[in-house]
């Protein structure tokens, strides 16, 4: 699949069906180039699965889109169909001689390709909405997926440029038909995050094929967030960078609230944002207890945690553990690790970052 992230679908609304008989469940949805792939889980006992679609706002006008004969078998089945040209509601019907049951509805948004066009030498993605808790947005050249982690979904519309998005319905945004969501020459690995309004954490992780925007609001209630992604267009003179020295950094900490760790060639700086300071922190084999008077750890002598000649722009996360947000944002001369723990109490976090080739 060209989309690196598969969306596990947890749906908030349910159709009115009879209690008792098991019903099909839309389990996963993914973008595969110009197609969408919808994975449906169903119990044994049905003859056929039928994927139905309806125009957004007209949920009573359902039309069959595709069908799969399942012949009494249970398990997972995948529907594949071309990306649609307008917003759709999707559901699955399971039929047998004895019964018919329906899955929950899933909203799917097909954006106009004109919404994500370059401005001179870059694509600008402007996202704004109310955040309460922890969320993640995955963006690829095929589309965008919203993943909710903790506390409330955005309760009002999120705007993605001029596209109206309602993430609590687990929407996917993609271009209609065969059009690309982002141009092929968009250099995702060089994307830049511009924070316009955010009272807590907005962090960007980049790769060649996707962008992950991590949102963490650990304060009480929701607040307005706005940020822009600037994605440059790669020209024909593009050359690869020097990868620098190979190295690995593992950071372990006990987090309660939100914190930021900025790492440069010379030192590590801890910025505590909200709730409690962390307990002991480990940077590889170096122990550190950040506090109001110990916010800086030199990267030298007995407290050296990284070798010299690191190319911070090559940083990539290879492992992370924790019940909420841990993200690593790479720049040309620094690595910023963001932690946000939105649940009650503290918990242990670990994130491992690799540098170099």
pLDDT tens-digit series, residues 299-333: 999 999 999 899 999 999 999 999 999 999 999 89
Return d(Cα 316, Cα 205) in angstroms, integer: 8
Q: Is the pTM of this model over 0.75?
A: yes
* Token pair belonging to 127: 């996202």
Q: Starting at the earlier edge strand, list the strands of the sheet with 25-32.
A: 7-8, 25-32, 35-42, 75-82
The DSSP output letter for 186 is B
Return d(Cα 315, Cα 330) in angstroms, integer: 6
| 3-state SS assignment for residue 273 | strand
Percentage of the chain lying above the pLDDT 90 cut? 58
Return d(Cα 236, Cα 212) in angstroms, integer: 26
pLDDT of the residue at 163? 85
pLDDT of the residue at 236? 63
pLDDT of the residue at 225? 98
Between 116 and 70, the higher pLDDT residue? 70
Between 91 and 11, the higher pLDDT residue? 91
CATH among 3.30.465.10, 2.60.40.10, 1.20.210.10, 2.60.40.1250 for 7-14+21-106: 2.60.40.10
Asked if the model's pLDDT at residue 15 lies above 70, the reply is no
The average confidence (pLDDT) of the chain is 85
Task: State the DSSP string of 85-127.
Answer: SS-EEEEEEEE-SS-EEE---EEEEEE-GGGG--BTTEEEEEE
Between 143 and 12, the higher pLDDT residue? 143
Asked if the model's pLDDT at residue 340 lies above 90, the reply is yes
Please, which pLDDT band fits residue 97 given cuts at 50, 70 and 90?
A: confident
Return d(Cα 122, Cα 317) in angstroms, integer: 26
Domain ranges of the chain: 7-14+21-106, 112-232, 247-355
Between 41 and 335, the higher pLDDT residue? 335
């Amino acid at each position: 699949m060209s989309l690196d992230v598969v969306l596990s679908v947890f749906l908030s609304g349910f159709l009115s069906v009879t209690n008792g008989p098991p019903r099909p469940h839309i389990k996963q949805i993914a973008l595969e180039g110009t197609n969408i792939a919808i994975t449906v889980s169903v119990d044994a006992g049905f003859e056929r699965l039928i994927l139905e679609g309806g125009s957004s706002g007209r949920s009573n006008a359902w039309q069959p889109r595709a069908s799969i004969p399942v012949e009494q078998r249970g398990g997972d089945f995948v529907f594949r169909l071309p990306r649609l040209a307008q917003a759709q509601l999707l559901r699955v019907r399971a039929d047998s001689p004895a019964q018919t049951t329906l899955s929950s509805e899933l909203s799917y948004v097909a954006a106009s390709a004109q919404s994500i066009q370059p401005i001179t030498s870059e694509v600008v993605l402007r996202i704004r909405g109310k955040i309460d808790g922890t969320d993640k947005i995955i963006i690829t050249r095929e589309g965008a997926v919203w993943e909710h982690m903790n506390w409330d979904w955005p309760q009002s519309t999120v705007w993605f440029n001029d596209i109206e998005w309602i993430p609590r319905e687990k929407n996917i945004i993609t271009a209609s038909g065969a059009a690309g969501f982002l141009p092929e020459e968009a250099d995702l690995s060089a994307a830049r995050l511009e924070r316009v309004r955010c009272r807590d954490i907005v962090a960007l992780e980049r790769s060649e094929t996707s962008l992950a925007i991590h949102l963490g609001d650990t304060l009480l209630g929701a607040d307005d967030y706005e940020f822009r992604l600037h994605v440059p267009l790669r020209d024909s003179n593009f050359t690869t960078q020097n990868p620098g020295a190979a190295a690995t950094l593992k950071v372990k900490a006990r987090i309660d609230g939100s914190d930021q760790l900025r790492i440069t060639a010379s030192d590590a700086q801890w910025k505590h944002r909200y709730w409690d300071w962390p307990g002991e922190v480990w940077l590889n084999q170096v122990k550190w207890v950040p506090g109001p008077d110990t916010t800086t750890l030199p990267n030298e002598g007995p407290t050296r945690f990284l070798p010299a000649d690191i190319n911070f722009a090559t940083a990539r996360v290879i492992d992370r553990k924790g019940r909420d947000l841990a993200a690593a944002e790479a720049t040309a001369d620094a690595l910023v690790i963001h932690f946000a723990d939105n649940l009650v109490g503290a918990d242990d976090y670990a994130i491992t970052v690799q540098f170099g080739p």
